[in-house]
A = this chain, B = another copy of it.
Amino acid sequence: MLRAALLGLTVAGATPDTLDAELQSLQAQAAKGTSAYAIVESLTTKVGARLAGTEAEARARAWAVEKFDELGFEARIEPATVEGWERGVEKATVTRPYPQALSITALGLSVATPKGGLEAPVLRVRSLDDLEARANAEVKGKIIFIDQSMARTQDGSGYGAVVRIRSRGPSTAARKGAQAVVIRSVGTDHHRFPHTGMLRYAEDAPAIPAAALSVPDAEQLSRILALSDDVRLRLELRPRRTGTRPTGNVVADLKGRTRPEEIVLIGAHLDSWDLGTGAIDDGAGVGIVMATLQLLRQMPQRPERTVRVVLFGAEEVGLVGAKAYAKTHADTLDQHVLAAESDFGAGPIYALSADVGEAAWPKIEDLHTRVQHLKVILGENGMGPGPDIYPLRGEGVPSLIPKQDGTDYFDVHHTADDTIDRIDPKNLDQNVAVYATLIWAVANTNGSYRPLAQDR
């Protein structure tokens, strides 16, 4: 506690010993088992898949309000809108030389092929760089198959290294005259589940249809290409834009006792892709932050600062809810002390990173001492926060970044296989213990974590 005092972590209202006792009490409670798993189970059972802008996402908002009510919170829905997109028929068939069906799914926001599909020769490239290096004449009229594999890593860096084949591959191929793009799924599993995820059409390129093959199907197509120079694929994708649709964020506050205008925000996103039931992405995050709030509410008195939970809408299709939150709350963002999002699955937290002002880093080091016995190492400053925090970070809001073990995350990420049975409740409880500790400590101490470095 001495060190904390030296670092300027002055405790308002409570003595250091009191805070210490409170944090121990929260951790003891979490160790007995939290409601996180039951919350994810309820969401994934009662709502299931909840694609942004659909009626299912609206039911998820209603579910959240009801669940918050059960937990003793009056939550509010902050409405927003999203440009809707829904999946339709999707088929890929090798028509020559070895006719067979492949397992495929459209990338999010892809345009459709003509009804009945399009058929074209296939050109395989190994990366976006490889594609860039090809002559336009080689690409023109073809279906481009981007066959880059993803490394399994703990921190998600394997995803970061290749995800641009999904986001930028379609427009890169379109600029060179390709008819369509199929990518090897950005995933680490070896099952016949294609991984969807959003693409980004560039303004200077035609929008062409784009889809992901499952990893075994990408390997199958590669084997076929190794046997023949004359491989043709028929691709039929019939997704459609559904126009402007409702989305929204669900917000619940544990009102601060002495400085209610100062907000410590923890979030997760409520929408999911349409293929699975969104258990690890991001039901887990919803369970973790709601269970954390429930735990904090059970303390004898409310925290000094307000703890706010935000369940963001329409994250998967472009951080739509997050941007709306930043806009709606523009006037109070300077009072947002710290923000964190849980959106990396259901693995345990193994490191505490942050994005705070340099002078505030010792406070993060001190926070770390509160959770290191939960098997959390100290991470680094200046890291990227959860996706929905980016719009806040752009406005100068510092972030807390509890890093989850994502070794298995990309096995089921954005697939039909993202279901509740992937989750070990004990890992969610560890997340809640870490979040509850960190957020209670931050909400019961003074001081700012600003300013963020300008160059990030």
Residues of A participating in the B interface, judged by any CB pair closer than 8 Å: 41, 45-49, 56, 98-101, 103, 190-193, 216, 219-220, 223-224, 227, 276-277, 416-417, 419-421
Contact = CB atoms under 8 A, between A and B. Distances in A.
Nearest to A223: B45
**Oligomer copy total:** 2
B98 A48 contact: yes
Nearest to A55: B99
Contacts of A98: 45-48
A103 B103 CA distance: 15
Contacts of A192: 193, 276, 416-417, 419
Given A191-B417, A192-B416, A416-B192, A48 B100 contact: yes
A63 to B, nearest CB: 10
7 contacts: A45-B98, A45-B223, A45-B224, A47-B100, A49-B100, A192-B193, A216-B417
Nearest to A102: B48
A191 B219 CA distance: 20
A273 to B, nearest CB: 13
Contacts of A46: 98, 227
Contact of A220 (B45, B216, B417): B45
B419 A220 contact: yes
A226 to B, nearest CB: 9
Given A46-B227, A216-B420, 17 more contacts: A45-B98, A45-B224, A45-B227, A47-B100, A48-B101, A49-B100, A49-B101, A100-B277, A103-B416, A191-B193, A192-B193, A192-B416, A192-B419, A216-B419, A216-B421, A220-B277, A220-B419
B45 A421 contact: no
Nearest to A418: B192
A223 B41 contact: yes
A103 B415 CA distance: 13
Contacts of A219: 421
A219 B223 CA distance: 36
A420 B99 CA distance: 17
A220 B417 CA distance: 13
A277 B103 CA distance: 11
A421 B190 contact: yes
A46 B420 CA distance: 37
Contacts of A190: 421
Contacts of A220: 45, 48, 277, 419-420
Contacts of A227: 45-46
Nearest to A100: B48
Nearest to A217: B419
Contacts of A100: 47-49, 56, 277
Nearest to A220: B45
Contacts of A101: 48-49
Contacts of A416: 103, 192
A118 B27 CA distance: 51
